[in-house]
A = this chain, B = another copy of it.
Amino acid sequence: MNTNIQLPPEQYLIDLRREFHAYPEPGWCEYWTTVRIVEELEDIGVDDIHIGPDALDTNERLGVPEERVLSEWFDKAESKTNRTDILERIEGGRTGAVAVVDRGDGPTVGLRVDIDALPIRESTDGDHVPAAECFRSKNEGFMHACGHDAHVAFGLGTLRTVAESEFRGTFKVFFQPSEELLGGGKPMAVGPHVDDVDYLIGTHVGLDHPTGTVISGIDEVLALSRLAITFSGESAHAGVAPNQGSNAVQAFVTAASNVYGIPRHSDGATRVNVGEISSDNPANVIADRATATIEVRGESNDAMEYMRDSVRRYVESAAEMHGCEAEIALVGAGIREDSDEELVELVSEVANGIDSVSSVVRRGSAGASEDVTYLMRVVKANGGNASYIGIGGGNPSGHHTPTFDIDEDCLLIGVSTLSKTVLELLS
């Protein structure tokens, strides 16, 4: 195997990761993040940089926040950078980028990293390294609590490594927005840059594996649909004449109490959960509006679709029962695709050849959902190969918690594993 590669200095990766960690932005609001990525791409000197609408199919975006939210983040980004040339192109929740290094004939390899953060307030605890070492989130209430800051560093570090190596073919890095919302995977997948990819690599840090462990292929990503539900009823005075109203809260409560009980599916695990519930009506008024988000998952795409269709029917029936109307909008979606054996085999070999890798797990199970699977599906449908690779990271507390962190030793392991895999494929 070719191991004569020049990895970037570890401090470069740590600095990158900490800078992105300090400025987390939620899905479709990664304005500053996109700008900084592009600046770095310019510094690396890639052949093509596709930004925003040129990087993905913006019509396919799911879960785009309302204009007010987009504007707030745009303004925040504008105050931190003078690259209005880039900002202009991504305004309106059209974030993300694709970098291309083209060395002529040969296969095309794609690496997909996700760049968005979560609406979680980061811990201020002295034991929490980002707090102690002053790179805690400066966007209060938001946090890179799932390691996408490390993913950006993986993407840029791998790109820099590969770009400085000799190879034949094309290498693309997909900086995908809005993974947490499961809103960006499909737009990227059906965008203009995935169709010619022969080998697609997704990656994730942490996953409760310690530093030094590499999972060559993660399977059993749960398929998912996220539905935004609005019940509309009619107000009435709750004391004088409750019968004259149509109670949106009752409709919601009936829907919610029933969706948890959608019959289990023969294909295996399914999931359903209700979140972000809201109705502002004071209790002395029969509520004319109630909203919620309902999320379903399935071990198979069939099971997930069964859950999703059931939720739709349950919600409609609950609305009808209580004389209300229901609106149902899809705001997030993920599918299941498993990793291909060819790539799993290659990654295992590569990882076994890296000194700092102490353990290689051929195949792991995801438990959660992801939308890199949309890119995987396109590549596989075209006859290509795809794998979703885990880089252990020794996080002390679970993903999506206020004290989530990574062990920065994993940054170089990740870049090393990914770069060598890419270069093997392009050798």
Contact = CB atoms under 8 A, between A and B. Distances in A.
Contacts of A400: 237, 284-285
A398 B234 CA distance: 14
A261 interface: yes
Contacts of A238: 271, 273, 275, 295, 297
A275 B266 contact: no
B276 A240 contact: no
Contact of A239 (B224, B237, B303, B317): B224
Contacts of A274: 249-250, 253, 283, 287
Interface in A248-283: 249-250, 252-254, 256-261, 263-266, 268-283
Given A239-B368, A398-B237, A264 B269 contact: yes
A263 B275 contact: no
Number of copies of chain A assembled together = 4
A318 interface: yes
Given A261-B260, A321-B258, A295 B284 contact: yes
Nearest to A320: B317
Contacts of A297: 238-239
Given A245-B263, A260-B260, A282-B293, A271 B239 contact: yes
B242 A264 contact: yes
B279 A242 contact: no
Chain A interface category by residue count: 35 or more
Q: Which of A279, A317, A368 has the most CB of B within 10 A?
A: A317
Nearest to A254: B258
Interface string A371-409: 000000000000000000000000000111000000000
A292 to B, nearest CB: 8
Interface string A287-312: 10010011101010001001000000
Nearest to A370: B239
Nearest to A227: B283
A241 B368 CA distance: 9
Contacts of A348: none
A192 interface: no
Interface in A307-330: 313-314, 317-318, 320-321, 323
A286 interface: yes
A283 B295 contact: yes
A6 interface: no
Contacts of A252: 277
Interface in A137-158: none
A244 interface: yes
Contacts of A278: 277-279
A369 B237 CA distance: 11
A286 B261 CA distance: 13
A226 interface: yes
A367 B263 contact: no
A159 interface: no
A324 B262 CA distance: 14
A309 to B, nearest CB: 11
Given A317-B321, A398-B237, A271 B282 contact: no
B277 A263 contact: no
A243 interface: yes
11 contacts: A226-B283, A238-B271, A238-B275, A241-B265, A242-B264, A242-B271, A253-B256, A258-B261, A260-B260, A260-B263, A277-B277
Given A238-B295, A242-B263, A275-B282, 16 more contacts: A224-B239, A226-B284, A237-B399, A254-B254, A259-B261, A263-B286, A264-B269, A269-B269, A273-B283, A273-B285, A275-B283, A277-B277, A277-B290, A284-B369, A284-B400, A313-B321
Interface of A: 119, 222, 224, 226, 237-245, 247, 249-250, 252-254, 256-261, 263-266, 268-287, 290, 293-295, 297, 299, 303, 306, 313-314, 317-318, 320-321, 323, 367-369, 398-400
